[in-house]
Structure 1
Amino acid sequence: MIKFFRKIRYELMGENKTGRYFKYAIGEIVLVVIGILIALSINNWNESRKQNIKEIEILTSIQESLKRDKIELESVIPSNNRIRNSIDVLLNYMEKNLPYQDSLSYHFFNSTTTWVANFQKSAFETLKSEGINLISNNDLRKDIVEYYDAGIESSKWQSETYRNVVINAFENVFNNRFESFWHSNYDELMQKRLKGEDVNPVDVKGQMVPNDFESLKKDKEYLYFLRSLKNINSWHMDRTLNLTVISVEKLIKAIDSELEHLK
């Protein structure tokens, strides 16, 4: 097309038709500008399409991570329920002055276990390396950042606070009241897990045998600790874990909606 205009321009110059020459010259310039604009538009569309594909990939990856977080949380929540159940069993025996049963050694052990969730953050780290603004939806971007930078960190802090309570009790409460702290098959199960075998929290079996159960029934310090531990578990673990599940579910749905829009 440009060669065609150039040929006409040369002919007009040869015929000394200056007015028509300038019209064709301007037309040629307009054509070139239009071509450049079209090329830029196509390039911008291609870049936008690439960004769109990358955003879909990142959001899909984050959603998969969230689904794994949800599974992890839902496996840990029952474990903490069992901790509080064991505490109730122990308190029932002590407050009702019931005789010692061998099965209580498991409940003493289980009441002091700490089950925390392990969160998946690799997809979010990938997003940060690509640039947070890759997520085009402002509200969704804010919710994702809040979950990973605030929600998970808060959950970890709550879990660590609870763990420290148990560790402190190991040093100051259990040391002169039990034969040992935690005698279990934990190491055996961890070896199985390292080999890639499935390990369920209910598979953990252990015991803590009191030095003197009858004295323990009247031990105000230990009873205070046991009642407090149940409340602390409810607040720092059960409440936090359930709230985190709600956040995860909302985020999964929000990403679902955004993916439908992007596709």
Structure 2
Amino acid sequence: MFHFMHKIRQGLLTENRFTKYLLYAIVEILIVIIGILIAIELDNWNEARQSRIDEIEVYKEIRQDLQLSLKELELGMNSHLVGMMVTIDLIDYLKSGKSEHPISSTRIQFYPKIDKDHQFFPGVSGFEALNSVGLKTLTNDKLRRDITNLYQLDFRKIVAMGRDNSSARSFEFLTPLIQQYIDLSDSAINITPPVINELDFPPDSIMIHEIKLVKLDEMRRDRELLLGLQNAVEFRQLKAGSYLVIIEKVRTLIEAIDIEVDKLEDQKSFGHSS
């Protein structure tokens, strides 16, 4: 094409048709400029499309991590709620002075775990990927701030409250107290963990002894134990409430990410840059 245009220019110059030559040269320059602009626009379109693809991938990885973290948070909250209910039942029973135990055998089996805490381990691969490519990869400023605050503030708070980090508000102070008053009964119950079926063992192959309380009168007079149980209830309530707040934030954030990904998918199809 350029060879053909060169021949036209040479012909116009040979014929001394300078005005037409000048007009033709201007047209030729415009064609070149238009070609360059089209190339630049096409390059920008491809770059914007790739940016949206990268952004979508980061969002999807973060969303997957949030789904896993949500399950872990719900597990932790439920463990604190169960622990709180069982502890309250035990306090009420000890304070009532009754000889018959009103708590179901299922709840009684929780007594050896009454001093156990939960440790939250959030999924972080998506957020780490975001940090590696740069926070500006996410074009939605509000969503970027919400994600950053969740990981760097909220998740860290829950992690710090866990058994591995919270020496001040763990439940280990109950361990020596509870162990004085818990023993195994003569009766046993059958348990069938899922792993047993996977290993092809018969369902009645594991029997465990039930839990019972001992030295009941002494237990009721143990002021340190009663105060410890009361403190444990307050700690459980605090932790369960904190978990619930973060759970709601995670759910809201997952919904916001879904909306943003849908929007970016549309932009990717049409090549929008914003």
TM, length-normalised to structure 2? 0.77
Contact 1:178–1:211, Cα closer than 8 Å, also in 2: yes
Contact 2:61–2:126, Cα closer than 8 Å, also in 1: yes
State the Cα distance separating 1:209 from its structure 2 match.
7.1
State the Cα distance separating 1:66 from its structure 2 match.
1.5
Query: Which runs of 5 or more residues in structure 1 are unaligned?
Result: 181-188, 196-204
Query: Which runs of 5 or more residues in structure 2 are unaligned?
Result: 184-192, 199-207, 266-274
Partner residue in 1 for 2:144: 141
Equivalent of 1:131 in 134, 141, 145? 134
Q: Which moved more, 1:94-103 or 1:32-41?
A: 94-103
Task: Provide the secondary structure at the position in 2 that maps to 1:150.
Answer: helix
State the Cα distance separating 1:88 from its structure 2 match.
1.5
Q: Which moved more, 1:143-152 or 1:17-26?
A: 17-26
Return the letter of the residue paired with 2:142.
D
Aligned residues: 243
User: Counterparts in 2 of 1:176-195, with a 5 A limit?
Assistant: 177=180
Structure 1 position 261 matched with structure 2 position 266: no
State the Cα distance separating 1:213 from its structure 2 match.
3.2
Contact 1:90–1:107, Cα closer than 8 Å, also in 2: no
Task: Provide the secondary structure at the position in 1 that maps to 2:119.
Answer: coil
Task: Provide the secondary structure at the position in 2 that maps to 1:120.
Answer: coil
Q: Which moved more, 1:11-20 or 1:147-156?
A: 11-20
Task: Provide the secondary structure at the position in 1 that maps to 2:166.
Answer: helix
Once the two structures are superposed, residues 81-129 of structure 1 have per-residue CA deviations (whole angstroms, 9 ceiling, x without a partner) of 1101111121122101233869586343232121333321111111111
Contact 2:181–2:219, Cα closer than 8 Å, also in 1: no
Once the two structures are superposed, residues 145-164 of structure 1 have per-residue CA deviations (whole angstroms, 9 ceiling, x without a partner) of 11111111111122243785
Partner residue in 2 for 1:214: 217
User: Counterparts in 2 of 1:41-52, with a 5 A limit?
Assistant: 41-52=41-52
Return the letter of the residue paired with 2:144.
R
- In terms of fraction of residues, the more strand-rich structure is 2
Partner residue in 2 for 1:185: none
Equivalent of 2:166 in 161, 167, 171? 161
- In terms of fraction of residues, the more helix-rich structure is 1
TM, length-normalised to structure 1? 0.80
Equivalents in 2 of 1:207, 1:229: separation in Å?
A: 23
State the Cα distance separating 1:22 from its structure 2 match.
2.4
Return the letter of the residue paired with 2:236.
N
Equivalents in 2 of 1:81, 1:165: separation in Å?
A: 15
State the Cα distance separating 1:69 from its structure 2 match.
1.9
